[in-house]
Structure 1
Amino acid sequence: MADSIATSDAPSSSFQSTPPSRIICRVCQKQFSQYTCPRCNTRYCSLHCYKSHSLRCTESFMRENVVDELQQLRPDDETKQKMLDILKRFHSEEEMDDMDEDGWQISFDDLSAEEKKRFQRAVASGELSKLIEPWEPWWFRPSARTICLSREGTPLVQPLAKQETNASVLDDPETDQLNDIPPGPESPLLPVSKLSTNEPSPLLALHLLDIIYSYCFALRLYNGDWQSDPTGSAMVVLSMSSVLGQGGQPETVSEALSHCLQQTCSPAFRHMGGLQFGLGLVDDVVTLLLLSGSALICLLCDLRCLIQASERELKSKKSQKSKRVEIKSKLKLAERKIYFIMCWVHEQPGDAWTSLAAIVKAEKASAMEFTGNRNKTPRMEKKMEAGVKALIEEV
């Protein structure tokens, strides 16, 4: 006891000369220490004091080790690249998930050979047409009969942008119909005399028939949505139109319609309905002619936009240079022809289209007389399709 009192009353320097077994516990400061911490060399007397001391010691030890480890983790270029690859894969997976949520888009080229055959059979049989909501051509809408263009050929009424209209206007059916009508030219149409020093050919009306038919065919083929595939739509127009695609110059109504009907009945487009479908397109031509010159200008303007959209799309696609140049050349020539005929239509009197529509109706009536009953056998229908050209020429 005396030793204990003497030790506690001794100055701090006495601890240096005291044996280790007689040193006071640095934690509780009440008992003699019997143990030493291997980490910090702190003297302690019991397990309780060790735990109290160890918490502080362990936290300090872990903190020092973490700091040392972080300082040593200096990533090299390879480590950085691996991390970038991981982030890219993660971002790609997120995009794939978004596509799955929005609906996966697949093209015809993504199908296998057998899937392509089944798809084509489904198209030819009309099975797929049951899944598509029928499209109402804009030239059948009541608003198509009231299209107004200025003396320069530009629209008198401009459709409002969606952000500039309130909900009640957007829900108006008449507004929806107006927006479905292709807008006219944004800038005034030039006089034909400024586009060419020569007098316009008297056969331009026949060229117009060829172009109208080709436009109607493309829109019905794409269910009114040529914007979904501008290049594909443009290729259909060039294939159907002898004027735009082949530099043809039909000299009679029969010749103009004959080429279009032959293309409609060709193996490439026969799945659309053959001759009967082609005769329906002739009705479309008549309807458009009877509307007005303003409707024809809107049609030609829409067709020109189609060609221009295809040109822009081709610029962004990587394809064989020679092939791309050839297609772009055809599109550019077609665009110029369309604009020239649009300016020519703008200068024609209104009654000119009524007379032309009557001639086309007579041609169609003669073709219907030849086909007779629509419920012909497939073999008879093929014979009729093969004889379309001879039939119309005789008429």
Structure 2
Amino acid sequence: MSEGPSKENNSRLCGICEETTSKYCCPRCDIFYCSLDCYKSEKHSECSEDFYRDCINEELASHNVDEESKHKMIDILKRMKDGDELDDIPEVEELDSDDDEGIDLQERIKDLNLDDADAVWNALTEDEKNEFQTMLDQGDVGAIMPQWEPWWMYRKQDKLVEEVTELNEEEDALKKCPQIKIVPELSSLTKVQPSPAIKFNIANVLASYAFIMRYFNGEVEPIEGVTYFLDICINLSSNANFEEPAVAVESVAQRCLQSEMIETDEASLDVMKYDIYLLLQGPSEQNKMYYCKAALSDLINILTAAKDISKKTKTHTKPNKGTFSKKFPDHEKSDWNKLDGSKIKGIIKKVEYYLSYIQSSGLDLA
């Protein structure tokens, strides 16, 4: 008994061409048909056009599209009626009403001041803002940023016989370092014998510099960078002295953990301690103090830039907070505007003194 209906269905002819066995059933008029050509044929045109029109209207209703997008959909409908090829029909996403979605991010921000966080934030689409918020909540923002590699990572291995390529490698490594500043000879700065603590105080400064450079991924904004730097370097911020190198470095680690501005972990602090080792080793045994001198020179540049900016903005007005600043209040620290230009000037003199000391006496922390 079950073979009868099956045989009847298989032998049913197409209700449009009445020549070929039907394979499909129209969802509107329930007519059986064999192919797309028959479905779109003149005999079935009224039903098929109504069906396409309903589909288009439903799609338009589900998207808040503009007039241009509506005209595109109407054009598609007309072409369906005329039997034109429709391989180039745009995907539904292209008809989204959010115009920014179809514009590349680079194009949207090319004329913006990238230091203006609120302007950049307003240029993002809602999806991009939500994605950023999600990454921030999960701590994954660093994953989209290229990792900065410190210039002090190179170290030439000591060999009895050196190859020419190894000499070239060291030269290339030195070119990546900050330019070493010229400072007066130590003997011209003071006739007093420096305290033994000076070596350990310099270690405190170098550890703070190394941490800040990595913390800002190699791109330090002067005012912000100096504020963070002085928060963890108590030798320069409060004239603290140290009697052991380990204590001088550990002081920086503890200040980082206690800081209200800095978010870090033990792994990052271990990296900082290894960075100090590399800075003290230098690029080679013959050029051992080069990295220390380059680091102090770079620190002088950052401090000088912060002093100049602070001098230009003696009267600070409270900026109007935009959407980004309100949403992420930690982005803008009021303490950044509290830098004392005269104090920074004194700190610069002290770092220059440290640099002069290294040039004349080296930095043996043993």
TM range (shorter): 0.5 to 0.7
SS, match of residue 271 in structure 1: coil
Secondary structure at the counterpart of residue 260 of structure 2: coil
What runs of 5+ residues in structure 1 fail to find an aligned partner? 1-97, 146-171, 356-395
Partner of 1:240: 232
Q: Over residues 239-298 of structure 1, what are the superposed CA-to-partner deviations in whole Å (9 max), with x where a residue is unaligned?
A: 1100111221122234312321112212535533x2221121011001111111122111
Conserved in 1, the CA contact under 8 Å of 2:223 and 2:309? yes
1:230/1:306 contact within 8 Å kept: yes
C-alpha separation in 2, matches of 1:294 and 1:173: 15
Aligned length: 223
**d(CA) in 2 for partners of 1:325 and 1:264?**
20
Please, which of 190, 193, 200 is the counterpart of residue 206 of structure 1? 200
Following the alignment from structure 1 to structure 2, what is the Cα–Cα distance between the partners of residues 214 and 129? 21
Q: Does 1:249 align with 2:249?
A: no
How many Å separate the matches in 1 of 2:315 and 2:175?
35
Contact kept in structure 2, 1:230 and 1:309, CA below 8 Å: yes
State the alpha-carbon separation in 1 of the partners of residues 304 and 262 from structure 2: 28
Quote the Cα distance in structure 1 between the aligned partners of 2:132 and 2:186: 47
Tell me the alpha carbon deviations over residues 207-246 of structure 1, each in whole angstroms, 9 at most, x when there is no partner: 01110111111111111122xx111111111111001112
Question: What TM-score does the superposition give when structure 2 sets the normalisation length?
Answer: 0.52
- Residues 43-84 of structure 1 deviation map (CA, whole Å, 9 limit, x = unaligned): xxxxxxxxxxxxxxxxxxxxxxxxxxxxxxxxxxxxxxxxxx
Amino acid at match of 1:220: R
1:281 equivalent in structure 2: 272
- 1:317 equivalent in alignment to 2:305: no
Matching residue of 1:305? 301
Q: Is the 8 A contact 2:256 2:263 kept in 1?
A: no
Distance 1:199 1:280, change over 3 A: same
In the superposition, the TM-score normalised over structure 1's length comes to: 0.49
Decide whether aligned partners of structure 1 residues 266 and 99 sit closer, same or farther in structure 2, where only a CA change above 3 A counts.
Answer: same
- Deviation per CA, 1:325-375, whole angstroms, max 9, x where unpaired? 86112211210110001000111257x25x3xxxxxxxxxxxxxxxxxxxx
Quick check: 1:311–1:331 contact (8 Å CA) kept in 2?
yes
Displacement, 1:134?
Answer: 0.6
Residue 327 of structure 1: aligned partner: 340
Describe the shift of the 1:319–1:175 C-alpha distance in structure 2 as closer, same or farther (beyond 3 A): farther
Equivalent residues of 1:123, 1:271 under 8 A apart: no
Conserved 8 A contact 1:264-1:275: no
Tell which deviates more after alignment, 287-296 or 189-198: 189-198
Q: Which amino acid aligns with 1:307?
A: L
Q: Give 1:79-90 correspondences, 5 Å limit.
A: none
Q: How far, CA to CA, are the matches of 1:310 and 1:142 in structure 2?
A: 32
More helix by share: 1
The CA distance in 1 between the partners of 2:157 and 2:142, in whole Å, is 26
Residue by residue over 1:188-208, the C-alpha shift from the partner in whole angstroms, topping out at 9 and shown as x without a partner, is: x32222212321010011101
1:194 aligns with 2:185: no
Match of 2:110 among 101, 118, 121: 101
Work out the CA distance in 2 between the residues paired with 1:121 and 1:245.
37
Give the Cα separation in 2 of the matches to 1:326 and 1:101: 32
Structure 1 residue 319: deviation in Å? Answer: 3.1
The answer for the alignment partner of 1:346 in structure 2 is 359
Q: 1:293 matched to which residue of 2?
A: 289
Q: Is the 8 A contact 1:307 1:335 kept in 2?
A: yes
What residue identity is the alignment partner of 1:210? Answer: N
Amino acid at match of 2:346: L
Give runs of ≥4 in structure 1 deviating > 6 Å: 109-112, 118-121, 172-176
Q: Please, what is the CA RMSD of the aligned residues? A: 3.7
Report the secondary structure of 1:138's partner residue.
coil
Would the aligned equivalents of 2:226 and 2:303 in 1 still touch at CA under 8 Å?
Answer: yes
1:107 shift after superposition:
4.0
Give the counterpart letter for 2:110 in structure 1.
E
1:373-392 maps to which residues of 2 (within 5 A)? none
CA deviation vs aligned residue, 1:119-168 (integer Å, no higher than 9, x gap): 798557431100110110000035899xxxxxxxxxxxxxxxxxxxxxxx
Given the superposition, is the C-alpha separation of residues 210 and 190 from structure 1 closer, same or farther in structure 2, using an over 3 Å criterion?
same
Distance 1:331 1:143, change over 3 A: farther
Q: CA 1:173/1:198 → structure 2, altered by over 3 Å: closer, same or farther?
A: closer
In the alignment, the residues of structure 1 paired with residue 269 and residue 306 of structure 2 have an alpha-carbon distance, to the nearest angstrom, of 25
Give yes or no for contact 2:310–2:339 (8 Å, CA) kept in 1.
Answer: no
- Closer, same or farther: CA 252–331 of 1 in aligned 2, 3 Å: same
3-state SS in 2 of match to 1:135: coil
Q: Distance in 1 between matches of 2:312 and 2:136?
A: 30
